[in-house]
């Protein structure tokens, strides 16, 4: 486990995925008894960064981030819900939103029954971005009814939206 200083936040430690559970348990034994949050970041196309934020309350408040990186194709890691009970909810959310496997059965939490996909993955196409005009495609003061816009102005497509005919019905 390596300790790295972060100029914009608390120090963080980076561990290998195989050492994740033991590192989390070790932090709790070292006095990091306050579990704050746990989530993932999609580092497309490399994989996922898992981040755990914990704190030690005695002798003074000390924050720490524990980080590990998972391959995109084998996004699986040991559950830490046996170390911090509050992590169970965060694992359910991370599983639903990113598709990361924690080796335990996780009931759906946020998405409706039958939902397909993982909406926080960068390759997930947001249907609302395709169906409605993107607000960032207009300059302040422009409206949909204004037809006097410059013909040379290129219309901006929101990030992550595929070209017409690549997605949706009829593709």
Q: Is the pLDDT of residue 85 over 70?
A: yes
pLDDT tens for 27-72 read 999 999 999 999 999 998 889 999 999 999 988 999 999 999 999 9
Taken in order of first residue, the domains within the chain and their CATH numbers are: 2-98 (3.30.460.80), 125-171 (no CATH)
Of 133, 128, 132, 124, the closest CA to residue 160 belongs to 124
SS3 string of 117-146? CCCCCCCCCCHHHHHCCCHHHCCCCCCCCC
Average pLDDT, stretch 4-20?
Answer: 83
- Asked if 25 and 42 touch (Cβ cutoff 8 Å), the reply is no
Q: Is the pLDDT of residue 165 over 80?
A: no
Q: Is the pLDDT of residue 169 over 80?
A: no
Residue with token string 């207009």:
138
Report the 10 Å Cβ neighbour count for 154: 7
Question: What sign does the dihedral 135-48-79-15 (CA atoms) show?
Answer: negative
Secondary structure letter of residue 91 according to DSSP: H
pLDDT tens for 102-155 read 999 988 889 988 888 899 998 888 776 666 666 666 656 666 555 555 555 566
């Amino acid at each position: 486990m390596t300790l790295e200083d972060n100029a914009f936040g608390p120090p963080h430690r980076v561990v290998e995925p195989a050492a994740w559970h033991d590192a989390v348990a070790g932090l709790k034994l070292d006095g990091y008894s306050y579990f704050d949050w746990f989530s993932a970041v999609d580092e497309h196309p490399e994989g996922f960064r898992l981040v755990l934020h914990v704190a030690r309350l005695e002798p003074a408040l000390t924050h720490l981030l524990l980080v590990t990186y998972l391959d995109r194709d084998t996004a699986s890691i040991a559950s830490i819900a046996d170390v911090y009970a509050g992590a169970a909810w965060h694992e359910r959310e991370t599983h639903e939103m990113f598709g990361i496997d924690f080796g335990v059965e996780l009931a759906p939490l946020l998405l409706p029954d039958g939902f397909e996909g993982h909406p926080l993955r960068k390759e997930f196409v947001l249907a609302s971005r395709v169906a409605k005009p993107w607000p960032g495609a207009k300059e302040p003061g422009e409206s949909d009814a204004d037809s006097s816009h410059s013909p040379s102005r290129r219309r901006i497509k929101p990030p992550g939206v595929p070209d017409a005919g690549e997605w949706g019905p009829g593709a």
